[in-house]
Structure 1
Amino acid sequence: MSTDHTGRAESLPSVPSIDDPRPHPPLTEHFNTGTATDPDVGARETSSLTVDGEEVSVGEEATIIDALGEVGADEELSALCYYDREDTDRIGPRSECRTCMVETDEHGLVPSCSHPAEDGMAVRTDSTEAEEARSVNLDLVLSDHNLRCTTCGKNGRCELQDAAIEADVEVPRYGVFDDRDEYEPIDESSPFIQIDRNKCILCNRCVEACNDVQVEGVLRIEGSGPDTRIGFQNGADEMMDSTCVSCGHCATVCPTGSLVEQDYTDAATIPVPGFTQENSIGETIGEDYDGQPNPATPMKGNQTYEDDALDGEADDE
């Protein structure tokens, strides 16, 4: 079962076997593109508003963070679950991390990434309430993150690390990840991408990149509460058993070291004798995979083989 954009449950199509004469649907028909993305939240028309006293105009479909960008005020906000680069599709908004909170006269505190820009709106990024909200939410994210940065492949190029440095965070007010009893094992099953869920901040960027940009339908967010984690839509426990094609887009958009290309897992680590990423966690899974002949995982490769075989049978007829 899956859910549509309204949250209602809907049945997934059945998957014929190799011996089934019916047309075999491609894997991407097993999920609905767009389900990873929030409903449209942008303005319906061009609007003029003020940001910290400076007037700015934005076009249709703009959110407050677009207005902040026009005056450079977005540099003061982390916006860890928001992704908008000139060379790729926009991902989000998700309103997951709430590190982009601003204050408005009309609506009080709102997440700038997902609140529409409204004509006549007055926005303040520097109010005491807005700054405190961003600080609290950043500390909440940090409290549920492995902060052993010296063993991380994203050390020095991590958006969460940058946000903490810019906010002068020394010790998160809600504790640190080391207070937990145990870490999740690192998924080393794929020779292309490593998954370290201990560094995941549940921003959902990777899920949207996988489902809505690359349209592969591999990743999902599963579980609830403290058990919420990155998972696979086919229910696999390890990436090698998923339907990943190793495009790497999930690692590209990940703001932390949760998803890293294997060649870069140690690229930015500080060599400390006897202390590495793997032994700092204590456990890995998937090391028994000897190799992978091509980027597609075995399940994806087998599916391609079945599709080709069915196409051949159809041609014979």
Structure 2
Amino acid sequence: MSTDPIWEQSHNEPEVPLAEDIAPGTANDPDAGATERATITIDGQRVETEAGATLLDACQTIETSGDVLALCSYDENAKIGPRSECRTCMVETERHGVVPSCSFPPRDGMTVHTDTERAREARDVNLDLLLSNHNLLCTTCGKNGRCELQDVSIENNVVDPRYGVMHDRDQLGPIDDSSPFIQIDRNKCILCNRCVEACNDVQVEGVLRMEGSGDDTRIGFQNGAETMMESTCVSCGHCATVCPTGALLEQGLVDATTLPVPGFTHKNSAEEIVGREYDHQPTQRTPMKSELETQNEPQASEQFTTARADRS
């Protein structure tokens, strides 16, 4: 039996029929927070929580014994997260065992420990798993120095991830450099889902999705496109704003914080770049979006006929 409230609630609640007021995306997921106020104990400290709070919210109000990370959690007021994807925020409760603090509601009388061996091991293992599947050429990354994955790795004194790192260029997937505004480097994606929620629930554009399964899971496009330029992207940039790593970057920032390393640049860190034929596009809109907007505009002849009818 799962102890994850998001999983339990989503499988126990009756199915809600679709309606016009349900926005596309994931904003209508079950609320991860508590339904009422609670008083709990975290690392021996008494903490009072409000309705809607999670264990992570409670941990962030005090100085905890262990470092509780939360790479997939963002700002609930912006309808993004928590998703319980990265599992770097695990804590141990006396009744429920090790749980993801970002999506577990406080319950009155609960006792929580952040620095037990089981909680530390869970956080460390999950962080190392993220690093093992990540392009760690940080000095050639546009997010160098402002990457959340880099920050938590430094804070946790990670030197050699237990599951190794990707060194060979042929292990890396192609960089999507097709859009004049946003570059996608899936080799740096931690599958946190922030960009998908920002696109679907905040901007309500419905461009991005997570597709595939297992090792093949990746950022994809709802229209089935292979590149950003073939998608319906409007180049708002919100997905890049919420990305915790260098997986999504504004084109003007791709080399903003990189350090010169002989023989290495961001673009040659992978063997393939897709979308070069779209270099120097004069517009930030993708062709797909421009075509859709053109199709929705009234034709000139229709506008002229309507104007004559109005005058008569």
TM-score, with structure 1 as normaliser: 0.85
Confirm or deny: 8 A CA contact 2:230 2:287 kept in the other structure: yes
Confirm or deny: 8 A CA contact 2:191 2:218 kept in the other structure: yes
Of residues 29, 36, 43, the one that matches 1:52 is: 43
Confirm or deny: 8 A CA contact 2:180 2:251 kept in the other structure: yes
Over residues 208-236 of structure 1, what are the superposed CA-to-partner deviations in whole Å (9 max), with x where a residue is unaligned?
A: 11001111100001011111111000000
**Structure 1 residues 236 and 169: CA distance shift in structure 2, 3 A:** same
Matches within 5 A, 1:17-32: 32=23
Over residues 121-152 of structure 1, what are the superposed CA-to-partner deviations in whole Å (9 max), with x where a residue is unaligned?
A: 11111111111110111001111111111110
Of residues 180, 184, 190, the one that matches 2:179 is: 190
1:66 aligns with 2:44: no
* Corresponding residue of 2:127: 138
Q: Secondary structure at the match of 1:288?
A: helix
Confirm or deny: 8 A CA contact 2:33 2:52 kept in the other structure: yes
* Aligned equivalents of 2:291, 2:209: Cα separation in 1: 22
Matches within 5 A, 1:118-267: 118-178=107-167, 181-267=170-256
Confirm or deny: 8 A CA contact 1:191 1:291 kept in the other structure: yes
Q: Which amino acid letter does the alignment assign opposite residue 249 of structure 2?
A: V
* Aligned equivalents of 1:228, 1:95: Cα separation in 2: 16
Q: Secondary structure at the match of 1:56?
A: strand
Q: Secondary structure at the match of 1:123?
A: strand
Confirm or deny: 8 A CA contact 1:241 1:297 kept in the other structure: yes
* Corresponding residue of 1:274: 263
* Aligned equivalents of 1:192, 1:37: Cα separation in 2: 29
Q: Secondary structure at the match of 1:65?
A: helix
Q: CA RMSD in A?
A: 2.6
Confirm or deny: 8 A CA contact 1:152 1:265 kept in the other structure: yes
* Corresponding residue of 1:284: 273
Q: Which amino acid letter does the alignment assign opposite residue 39 of structure 1?
A: P
Structure 1, unpaired ranges of 5+: 7-11, 13-28
Aligned residues: 291
Confirm or deny: 8 A CA contact 2:88 2:126 kept in the other structure: yes
**Structure 1 residues 75 and 293: CA distance shift in structure 2, 3 A:** farther
* Aligned equivalents of 1:37, 1:175: Cα separation in 2: 37
Q: Which amino acid letter does the alignment assign opposite residue 73 of structure 1?
A: T
Q: Which amino acid letter does the alignment assign opposite residue 235 of structure 1?
A: G
How many angstroms does 1:84 deviate by? 2.0
* Corresponding residue of 1:111: 100
Structure 2, unpaired ranges of 5+: 1-9, 12-17
* Aligned equivalents of 1:179, 1:163: Cα separation in 2: 24
* Aligned equivalents of 1:165, 1:182: Cα separation in 2: 25
* Corresponding residue of 1:304: 293
Confirm or deny: 8 A CA contact 2:175 2:184 kept in the other structure: yes
Q: Secondary structure at the match of 2:84?
A: coil
**Structure 1 residues 118 and 216: CA distance shift in structure 2, 3 A:** same
* Aligned equivalents of 2:138, 2:282: Cα separation in 1: 32
* Corresponding residue of 1:76: 67
How many angstroms does 1:74 deviate by? 9.8
Of residues 22, 34, 38, the one that matches 1:43 is: 34
* Aligned equivalents of 2:301, 2:37: Cα separation in 1: 53
How many angstroms does 1:274 deviate by? 2.5
How many angstroms does 1:91 deviate by? 1.3
* Corresponding residue of 2:3: none
Q: Which amino acid letter does the alignment assign opposite residue 51 of structure 1?
A: I
Confirm or deny: 8 A CA contact 2:142 2:255 kept in the other structure: yes
* Aligned equivalents of 2:212, 2:122: Cα separation in 1: 27
Confirm or deny: 8 A CA contact 2:25 2:206 kept in the other structure: no
